[in-house]
Amino acid sequence: MSAIQRHTELIRAEAQRLGFEFVGFARAERLDEEARRLEQWLHAGAHGRMAYMENHFDLRIDPTKLVPGAKTVICLTFNYFTDKKQEDPEAPKLATYAFGEDYHFVVKDKLKSLLQFMQAEIGEVNGRCFVDSAPVMEREWAQRAGLGWNGRNTLTIHPKRGSFFFLAEIICDLPLLYDAPIRDHCGTCRRCIEACPTEAISPEGYFLDASKCISYLTIELRDEIPPEFKGKMDNWMFGCDVCQDVCPWNRFSERHSERAFEPHPDLLQMSRRDWLELTEDVFGKVFKKSAVKRVKYAGLKRNIGFLDK
């Protein structure tokens, strides 16, 4: 067995021991075709008020500018699917990924452990860890690394697990065995397009107008939610799972086993009235380590108020 093959298998085994479900490896190189698509998306204004998407364009499309001498993008998935639901069917809804602790910290800690393992077992490895917090085109890298295809809803879909997972990356200067991409398996299915409450997915799919996406409106948008979305929010107060819930590939989702992603005991029991009367103290208790804290108490109250007007 060559050193490259041994290193690849060593990293894959340790990543799975740490809780990552699937691991893929892609050659670190400039993303020329993806750069053109990103430019078109930005020029269409589909990023809404997310001005940061226009920044660091060169870094987004070239991993060697993020990590000098980069040879490999290690791509990983971390499952967050659960069959637990909010008990009150009339309560404002929360995207599944936000039920537990903030994934940025939970997954990033595991990534750092993996990089430290690589440095201890293999030797000097220069690398950086990324979890949805830097200019990395993670879905494009996941596709290149064989972790799925980018579906009509623009999410990465794995043929054995669907899409209820977080993506994470280590960009490093270690050469490894590279995986082959998975072909698109959306076929003629249009369920996500037809189910999107705000028609954020283009008629043929594969293009998301983020400025119409409920996740954008409830999380990224800092201003008031535009009145034209009144009655179209499908009762979502933070994020949205509609395009995942209707995706046939998510019938293969399996419940996660990460304790940190278990919801606060009070969260699922809260009624519609509890949410309408939400206090800052209750918000701080229920979402103590949650990604929901990103919108702060005032932001969540704004969202709930918009649903209830």
Q: Name the strands in the sheet holding 165-172, side by side, starting at the edge strand that comes first in the sequence.
A: 22-27, 72-79, 165-172, 127-130
Which candidate in 62, 88, 109, 132 is catalytic?
A: 132
Task: Say if CB 159 and CB 185 are below 8 A apart.
Answer: yes
Nearest to 107 by CA among 162, 165, 27, 157: 165
The residues, ordered by sequence, that sit 6+ positions from 198 with a Cβ below 8 Å of its Cβ are 212, 213, 214, 217, 229, 232, 233
Q: Specify the amino acid at residue 290.
A: S
- The pairing of strands 236-238 and 93-94 is parallel
Q: Any residues with CB less than 8 A from the CB of 99 and at least 6 apart, and which? A: 80, 82, 84, 261, 262, 263, 267, 268
* Catalytic residue status for 179: no
> What is the spatial distance between Cα 65 and Cα 77, in angstroms, rounded to a whole number?
24
What are the C-alpha distances in Å from 218 to residues 124, 235, 274? 43, 11, 19
Q: Is the distance from CB of 247 to CB of 191 less than 8 angstroms?
A: yes
Establish how many alpha carbons lie within 13 A of residue 43's alpha carbon, considering only the half-sphere containing its beta carbon: 6
Residues noted as catalytic: 132
